[in-house]
Copies of this chain bind each other. A is one copy, B any other.
Amino acid sequence: MSTPPRADRAIEETDRFRPRFDAAGLMPCIAVDAATGEVLMLAWISEAALAETLTTGFAHYWSRSRGALWKKGETSGAVQKIVDVRTDCDQDAVLYRVEVALREGTCHTGRTTCFYRRVRPGPGGLDRPLDFDPDEGGSQ
Residues in A lying within 8 Å of B, measured CB to CB = 1-6, 12-17, 19, 22-24, 26, 28, 30, 32, 36-39, 41-42, 47, 50-51, 54-55, 57, 64-65, 67, 82, 84-89, 93-95, 107-109, 111, 114-133, 140
Q: In the A-B complex, list the 7 residue pairs whose CB atoms are closest, starting with the nearest.
A: A37-B37, A42-B93, A1-B24, A88-B114, A86-B115, A6-B65, A85-B119
This chain's copy number in the assembly: 2
Contacts A3-B65, A51-B126 given; indicate if A117 touches B16 (C-beta within 8 A).
no
Measured CA separation A26–B24 after assembly (Å): 15
User: What secondary structure prevails in chain A residues at the interface with B?
Assistant: loop
Q: With a CB–CB cut-off of 8 A, which chain B residues contact A117?
A: 15, 86-87
CB–CB B115/A88 < 8 A = yes
A109 near B5: Cβ-Cβ < 8 Å: no
Given known A-B contacts A6-B65, A121-B54, A129-B17, A30 and B39 have beta carbons under 8 A apart: yes
